[in-house]
Structure 1
Amino acid sequence: MNPLLLRLRLTLVSLAVLCSAGAVAHDGVLPDSTSVDTLSAPTAKWYRQLIDNGFHINDPDIDYPGFWRWCVGVYNWGDRTFNSYDPDYVVGAGKNWKAGLKSYNWMENYTLLFPHKMRVNMVSDVFSDVGAYLSFMAVSVGYTLNANDVFGHPVANHHNFDFNFCCALFSANLNLSSTSGGTRITRFGDYNKGEHLSQRFDDVSLSSVGGDIYYFFNHSRYSQAAAYSYSKYQLRSAGSWIAGAAVTHQNINIDFSGLPPEMLEKLPGDYEKYRFHYTDYGLIGGYAYNWVLHPKRWLINATILPSIGYRHSYEGATEGRKDMFSTNVRAMMSVVYNHRSLYASLVGRYDGHIYYKSSYTFVNSNNSVTLNIGTRF
């Protein structure tokens, strides 16, 4: 391996204050009972020793130079400070590496609610991405493909990017997504006698950027990583109250003017075009719980994270420039199965945003299901 690339890789690992959910440095033992042979000759390069022992960075036989030894010390400090658990409740998986396959499936839902129980509901196509990833501690690289195109069922333009970081104390997340078209109207006021329909509708677009960070109060006994990143084992059932902050920016455009005249006659409300363009600044308060059905085998997680705060609506939006009250909610559920070094999980997630006005209420949400299969080594 090129020494320069290896040094760059180790710098990323050491200096990121790796509160890695997969870290095992503070456990004080090697992950496996099998002894590890290292190069002990005085001429052996430290990075060669690290490679040969399987990247167990705290192996005392590794002869780090001064700077790299300092980096390992920084990592260990970060791991002790941000990633320590009560061993009666949570233990490390004993591996630094993970490799896996992922299937990510998501859809958008838009609903306009009007007085007298009138509503307009729109549902996007299901967008599917499949890919593979390789992780070392907190550093992960992966590649995904648009499964709709690969398997010959193309849908509307869509893009999605997720960044997630989780340690014992807190979780931080960033999401960027956009969709255009690929939507069906399933209810449209009292058109079709108010019954379900399936009308193709491409005049809707969404662009969304959101980030949040939240703290786990019972961080010594509850592990979010056990349920969502598979680098910890929850040994006993436990939950935690959660508090944090979130920022969300959304730009949504809906244009009904191109619909057939007989449908437009049944459109509730005062507008044929809607634009929701706003930024939310919210406080998060919620709760999460891990049910342990079988230690190191079956785990079920449920998490609810409502948020309230301040909303700023921009010029050009349907309601114009306004300062408003914001309400949003996130709900997650995970079912995890572990078998030795293997793991599989099914994760569901709902992100909902509610926009209140005197004459209508607008609710949009992102709904996703993710299947993960992988191995630790």
Structure 2
Amino acid sequence: MYLKRTIAILLSVLISGMSAMAQTTADTISTPQKYRHKTFFRVVGRTLGRFIRNFSEVDTNYIEPQKFNYTAMVQNTNTYEIYRIATTMGNDFTFAPLPTFKLGPYLGWRWIFLGYTFDLKNINSGDKRTEFDLSIYSSQLGVDLFYRKTGNDYKISKAQLDTEGKINTRPLNGMNYDGISVSIKGFNMYYIFNHKRFSYPAAFSQSTIQRKSCGSALCGIGYTRHSLSVDWEKLYNIVAENLGEETAERYMDPELKFKKINYTDISLSGGYGYNWVFARNWLAAASLSLALGYKSSSSDTNHSTFTFKDFSFHNFNIDGVGRFGIVWNNMRWYYGANAIIHTYNYHKSKFSTNNIFGSLNIYVGVNFGRMK
């Protein structure tokens, strides 16, 4: 009886010891794994946090960082656009739609600014003009996504039929012409070198305040897809009705008979911007960038995709963008105006187009949701 009890006690101790050893071994094995997982996520989190802080790091002697998470704004946008089409035979037409008057709301969260404006002037006219913009700003980088589609209210603002300009084309000035349609979509991305002291967002998204005057060099890349459609028969008839059938038949260039042209523009840009703080909470800003763009149209090649055989130095053209603004901002409230002008050029051996469009924005807004 005593022997059986002793054996039972020994077996119990042995089983308990083995169980404890197994648990210790399991803890010993699992602890490093848990530790490694915790360390990995901690390192990733710290790295990401450091990247975000460095991405928006500024010299507070020059720039006052944003103290609010959100912004709401109402903006009036007035746009102007001209489109010039010229041929080597001397046809040179400049078209311009009536200026638009748009009004719309914008909402922003830190780097992202999104809005949509409505054309109040042509709201019931059936005009199909649309515009969409999405801008993402930080101290170092900026991205603009855009989509523009013109309407049908173009007028002939200037015309020339011969290379010497001997033909009197004044009767064509101001004539309605709804045979041109243009759409542009794409993006621009730019880098600000002196981002710790120069704030591009302070001038154009009101997300920071420039406290001391400063400038910076800019560089960027861009991609745009252009679509141009011209109704040559309508244009020919307008010339014939106002200048005579004989003049139209003799001078109208058949190179304008194309129905539609699509071309892609890939560009590298460089420029300079300057922010001038001329009074407390006041800022005047100006920047100019020139872009070397390579333009490839669907008529350049018979291939379905671009190859190096299609490359031509004649496809390089100079584009540009200018930005000018003035703003008052005390961090809670802000108001101001800015003007943005874009130019695109496309030249072929017998045909060229120049597109210039700009907008004047007048806005008032408020920031809210103070950061903790």
Q: Tell me, yes or no, whether TM beats 0.5.
A: yes
The letter for the 1-side match of 2:217 is W
Residue of structure 1 equivalent to 2:28:
none
Offset of residue 129 of structure 1: 2.6
Looking at structure 2, the residues matched to 212 and 236 of structure 1 have their Cα atoms a distance apart, in angstroms, of 27
1:18-62 deviations in Å (ceiling 9; x for gaps): xxxxxxxxxxxxxxxxxxxxxxxxxxxxxxxxxxxxxxxxxxxxx
Residue of structure 2 equivalent to 1:65:
none
Tell me if 1:337 matches 2:328: yes
Of residues 98, 101, 104, the one that matches 1:131 is 104
Residue of structure 2 equivalent to 1:230:
206
Residue of structure 2 equivalent to 1:355:
346
1:53-111 deviations in Å (ceiling 9; x for gaps): xxxxxxxxxxxxxxxx9999787434312111111111124222212111122233111
Are the aligned partners of 2:89 and 2:253 in contact in 1 as well (CA < 8 Å)? no
Of residues 291, 308, 321, the one that matches 1:307 is 291
Question: In the TM superposition, what are the counterparts of 1:174-323 in structure 2 within 5 Å?
Answer: 174-189=145-160, 193-195=168-170, 197-258=173-234, 259-260=237-238, 261-262=240-241, 263=243, 265=247, 269-274=253-258, 275-295=260-280, 297-315=281-299, 323=312
- Identity over aligned pairs, percent: 24
Closer, same or farther: CA 102–191 of 1 in aligned 2, 3 Å:
farther
RMSD: 3.0
Could you tell me which runs of 5 or more consecutive residues in structure 2 were left unpaired when the two chains were aligned: 1-41, 302-309
Task: Please report the TM-score for the alignment, with normalisation by the length of structure 1.
Answer: 0.72
Aligned-partner SS, 1:362? strand
Looking at structure 2, the residues matched to 255 and 191 of structure 1 have their Cα atoms a distance apart, in angstroms, of 25
Residue of structure 2 equivalent to 1:101:
74
Aligned residues: 304
1:328-374 deviations in Å (ceiling 9; x for gaps): 11111111122462211211111111112344432012211111111
Residue of structure 2 equivalent to 1:48:
none
Which structure has more helix as a fraction of its residues? 2
Are the aligned partners of 2:295 and 2:346 in contact in 1 as well (CA < 8 Å)? no
The letter for the 1-side match of 2:103 is V
Are the aligned partners of 1:155 and 1:182 in contact in 2 as well (CA < 8 Å)? no
Aligned-partner SS, 1:271? helix
Looking at structure 2, the residues matched to 129 and 236 of structure 1 have their Cα atoms a distance apart, in angstroms, of 33
1:276-299 deviations in Å (ceiling 9; x for gaps): 32101111111111111113x211
Could you tell me which runs of 5 or more consecutive residues in structure 1 were left unpaired when the two chains were aligned: 1-68
Larger radius of gyration: 2
Residue of structure 2 equivalent to 1:19:
none
Closer, same or farther: CA 167–95 of 1 in aligned 2, 3 Å:
same
Looking at structure 2, the residues matched to 277 and 290 of structure 1 have their Cα atoms a distance apart, in angstroms, of 38
The letter for the 1-side match of 2:257 is K
The letter for the 2-side match of 1:170 is L
Task: Please report the TM-score for the alignment, with normalisation by the length of structure 2.
Answer: 0.73
Are the aligned partners of 2:112 and 2:135 in contact in 1 as well (CA < 8 Å)? no
Are the aligned partners of 1:313 and 1:322 in contact in 2 as well (CA < 8 Å)? no
Closer, same or farther: CA 245–103 of 1 in aligned 2, 3 Å:
same
Of residues 337, 349, 364, the one that matches 1:346 is 337
The letter for the 1-side match of 2:67 is G
